[in-house]
Each structure stands twice: as structure tokens, then as C-alpha cells.
Structure 1
Amino acid sequence: MAKGKTRDLYQEVTDRILELLDAGTVPWRNPIQRGGGQGWPKNLDSGKRYRGINVFLLASMAWAKGYGSDYWITFKQAQKANGAVRKGEKSSLVVFWKQYATKDRETGEEITIPVLKHYNVFNVEQCDGLQPPDAPTIDPNTVPFEPLDRAEAIVAGYRDKPSISHGGSRAFYRPRIDEIRIADPERFSDRENYYATLFHELVHSTGHSKRLNRGLDTNLTPFGSPDYSKEELIAEMGAAFLAAVAGISPPTIEQSAAYIDGWQKQLKGDKRLVVSAAGAAQKAADWILGESFTEAVETTVVETPIVAERQKEARTADSQLKLFQ
């Protein structure tokens, strides 16, 4: 910023909101269990809740970055608490009103005017040496996570899959680096939702240019656009196909229908969307399962336990797929 230039905090807040929306951070589907903070941003030092636009800014940032804690702290407050912000971590903007005493230019009367000010905070998970009050605790009665063999076989059978790492409190696919990030299995409400969420991100990854090339890494689309909406529907339907193969039935399609309904104006009444998305979702599921189809409906199958078991169903699915193409 040039010396003497006043920061336009209103514009900074607006730009941050638009940035979050463009990044697709609206959590319409999140089966991942949080800590004990209940999603309301709070200051670790004072324990007070943030208010107004700060609630949106910090909660959205926590979602975007996968922070599991609702607690935030300033750089100096972290030091005071014998903690430290990790090197390289970026702060988040918090704004507040401050009353300033001045004189009315016309009447000369003493008045106070509100001025928008700001300061920077960090999530507790960006710091070392601090223990947030809402840190997840292990319930002694919790049943240990047990992988579902058929679901694990699908993941293992995806031969050119992206890298998969665990951590944080959300799930997403980064097309530019071809990586899936997902919360630890124990943080999900149940193992079926864990695999359904992982399948959703796996289907997204088939859109990479080195796979089915839906333009995910070459033609990024903003949140809420028709192309974005279609990609989300493809991921949900593809996850439902994979869940059926794995023998689980997560509530994905119903949520997709609600998503389409909520974005009707953006989708501009595209009556072909569902059929087109279903065809793309089937192709994505086929890619992950290692199945390929010829024009004569004959099926060439890569030998995996899941594919062998579903070979007969695959032929039927291929016939149905041709209706979508």
C-alpha cells in the first residue's frame, strides 16, 4: 500500500466475500463432525463471540482452510498466552467500529463519529503451543473406525488416482495439483459418510485433463455458475453410483436435487442437465472402477474384485448409458 493511502476496508470485506464464493466455500454438504465450538467464531483471549460481518468472514475462512476450531487470536495475544503463530501463516481480517470525538465543521459542536477499523487474527490451529477449548476429545465409547472392504477396494482399484491426504475438517479436490484432502475417518458421523464424501472427491478428480478432461484444471468456473453446478451434480451422482457398488446408501442424490432447485436461476432451466450429468457421472464411475465399454456393448474389464463382481451389472449400465450420450 502506498504511503499515506487510506485502506478501503469496505472494499476489502466485499472482495473477501466474493473470493470465498468464487472458491465455492458454501458448505451445503458437510457430514464431518466439528469440535465443541458449534461453528460460532470466538476470540481465545476474551472468550467473546465475534459479531456482524466478522462471523461470516471467520466462519467462511475456517471452512475454506479446513480449521476445526472456532477460536481466533491476534499475534500479540498468542505470544501473551505462551504460544506462537507458525511462520508463513496468513492472517484473517476482522473489522470493528470505533467512535472518534470531533467537531461538526458547520456548527462547531462536539460530536462523535463511527469509523471502521480493522485488525488481524489467526485461527488457533495456525499456532503452536495453544490448546483450543473446542479441541476434539476421544469418546471412550466410540467404536473404532473399521474400513469397508468393498469401498476400500474401489479406492485401491482407481489406478491413476490423485494423491489423498487426511487432516482438517473438510473435504475438497485441488485440480491444479491433483490432490484430494479429506478429514480423518474418525471425524465423520459414520463410515458410510466418509466413503461417500471420498467418492464425491474421487469423481471430481476424473475431470482432470489427464483423465476425462472436464476442464477442472484448465477452465476454472466460479461458484454458482451452470458449469460449476453441473460438476457438483456429476460428483454427487457418481458418488451414488460408487456407493451402490460398495453396498452403501448415503443421502447424496436427495441433496443434489435440493442443490439444483436452489440454483434454478443460475442453471437457466437447462432441461438436459440431469441426463447429461448422469452420463458424465457414469463415465466417471467407470473410470474409477477400471471399466471400459465398446460400441457393441461388450465390456472390457480390468481385473479387480469389485469389477469382477459387478461385470453383469456393468453391461446393463452400458446400455442405459447410451441413452444419455
Structure 2
Amino acid sequence: MSKNFKALPIQLSDKLVAEIKEGNSLFQKPVKENGMPAFVKPVNPITGKGYSAMNALILGMQRHDDPRWMSADAARYAGNWVKKDEKGTMIEFPKTSDIQAIRTAEGKVIKDDAGVTQTKTVEFDKPQRGQAFLFNGSQLNDLQPLEEFLAKQNEGQTLSSIERAAKLIEDSKAVIIHGGQEAYYDKQRDAIFLPEVEQFENETKYYQAAIHQLAHWSGHEDRLNRPMEGKFASLDYAREELRAAIAGILIGGELNIGHNFGQQKAYMSNFAKILKDEPFEIAKASRDAQKIANLLLGVSQKREQKQGAEMPGFKKGDEIAYMDTTYKVLETYKTKSIKVEDGEGARKVLKPDYGLYKSLLEAKTNPREPEMVLEEEQGQAEEQGQQQKIGR
């Protein structure tokens, strides 16, 4: 690999900083000139799976209206071909194995009588960074018409985007107090404050604002327990806003309601500074945003498909890949609590109202491509004092 090659998070940060300065980032322009959402949730049309947060952000920033993404090889196997002169978009993923040529002790490749190189599958002790170039559906020939694909995707969906957003908020059980002119989350009271629906330009913008505040709400110590410190307009404050903004993009894409980071002007300079000075922060923020999306979507997503049906649960022996490890279910209890063991051998009992429990349930029932874990993990210093209003 070239010495000049930049790690993918650095490439993403560089592009985001440039877009922020130009005023056309996803945070600043949630709708394209054609009226379509700026971010369309990317999906692999063959597996039906979505992509992890950072990869979804990378793919979504290409601004395609078609949500379908796959590699050239996958497209070819499906009978499709990349159009001439089209360029792929690079993503990263944790690679747990590799197919390698079988060689002699002298290093020569072993071939069979037909001249075909013999191969073996090598399992890695630790996941390694894998990379792939993906192509959007608009870059491929002979693909199923987009309208037909979207119609099939929406089969069985009885709720509108607005209804799904309302249900997500209801299922969260968050305390929401209406009135006043500001939208924010109060940590001390563990409550969300929102203006009345009528004060928003339309109903969609109300739910977009509510989802953004729910993203902050998820960071409470009883849920995802995320650091939310720093005074308004500080860099620490902006870190939390970055996580909530990305989560709003992911959730808005999932619900087809779009996103709208209303107070973007107050944070853009700090976003740009953080991404320029600490480019790997985008990977950390994306992972936290994925946790937020998993938590908020995990409760309502399956209920809306089968009204009145019992939520899927866990069984002993389940192995669930989530974030940077795999959790194994050791025991299940009548209370629906579970005992799990992570990849490092740590064991804990999770109750149904725990954030990790809900995230694991979401990961089991709606698996996404796993997120690449970076070696560059710098600790964050804790500042004195707390800011109670978040997300103004």
C-alpha cells in the first residue's frame, strides 16, 4: 500500500471538513436539489443487510437516490455489471478470515493438474482491517428497476413514515414536555423539552427534532451511559452533538423520514475543528451513533411489522456480533433477563430495560455489517462540571 495512503476515517473526515466549509454537508443540507433526501439508507440488495454507521455515512455522502450497493464481484455473480468508467466507493470491515494460495516450503504456489491454484481458508486470531470497493445501483447495468425494488422492500409495511416515527417515540417511553421555544434534552430531569407541534414548519420537522433529542436522551447513565459534558458551544458539547447528528441521519434513513439538524450553524465550526484535529473521532462518533440507532430502533422496529406479536427473544447459546466483540448467551431467565459473556470473557446479567440488552436484541433480529474497530483509541479527559441542557 502506498505510503501516501490515508486511513479511511481520515479520508472521511477530510471530505466532511471540505463539505462543511462549502456549506453542503449532510448536516447542513438534508435535502437535495431534486427534493430527495440527501441521505438514503444504503443496503446490500443480495443479503438485504444494511451497512454499519461509518460505512453508511461514506456511501450516503455519495448522494445517490438508489440505496443499493455491492461489490463488482457480487454484482457480476448476480448477473449485473459495472458500467464503463464508473468508480467504486471504498468501505472498511472487520475481516476474520482470508483465502490464500497453498505453497510449498520453498514458497511456490501449488496447482492441480488443470493448472488451477490450490487455496486454503486461514482464520485470523484477531479481526483484521478489510477493504472493499462498492458500486451503487445507478452504476450497474441490468439491475432490477428501482421502483420495483423499493416496492418489494416496503411490502408488509402498514405504517407511514410519520406513524413509524411517532411509534418510535412512544415506544422509547421518554418523558417529553411540550411548550416554550426551545428543543433540548435536560440531563438532570432526564426529560426532553419540545415546542408544540404547531410551532414547527410541518409535522415531519417536529419528528425530526424529537428524534434528535431522543438521540441525546439515549446517553443517560441508565441507558447508553455516554459522556455528555462541556458547556454550550464547547468542543466537548460538539462531540455529543456530532453523535446525535449522525444518529439522526441513520434513524431518519431507516424510517424514510429524513433528518434535519436544526441548529447546525452553531456547531459547524466546532465539527470542522474536531474532524481536522482528530480525524479518527469520526469513527468513534459513528460507532456511538450506531449504538443510539440500535437502541431507539430496536424497540419499535419489529413491533410495527407484527402488531400484537411477541418480540423475538434470546436463547441459550446465541452468539451475537455487536460492535467490536461477540456476545454469547450463557443463560436465559423467566424474567427475560440474560447472562452473557463477551469476547474477552467478561460476564454480566442484562435486564430487558438495559441499553445493551436492547442493542443485542436489535443486532440479533436485524443484523448489520459490523463496524471496524480502530487501534487508534485515545482516552478522553473528563472535565469538571456538567451542562444540563443538551441539543439546543
TM-score by length of 2: 0.37
Q: Which fold has the larger relative contact order, with Cα–Cα distance below 8 Å and residues 6 or more apart in sequence?
A: 2
TM-score by length of 1: 0.44
- Which is greater in Rg? 1
Higher relative helix content: 1
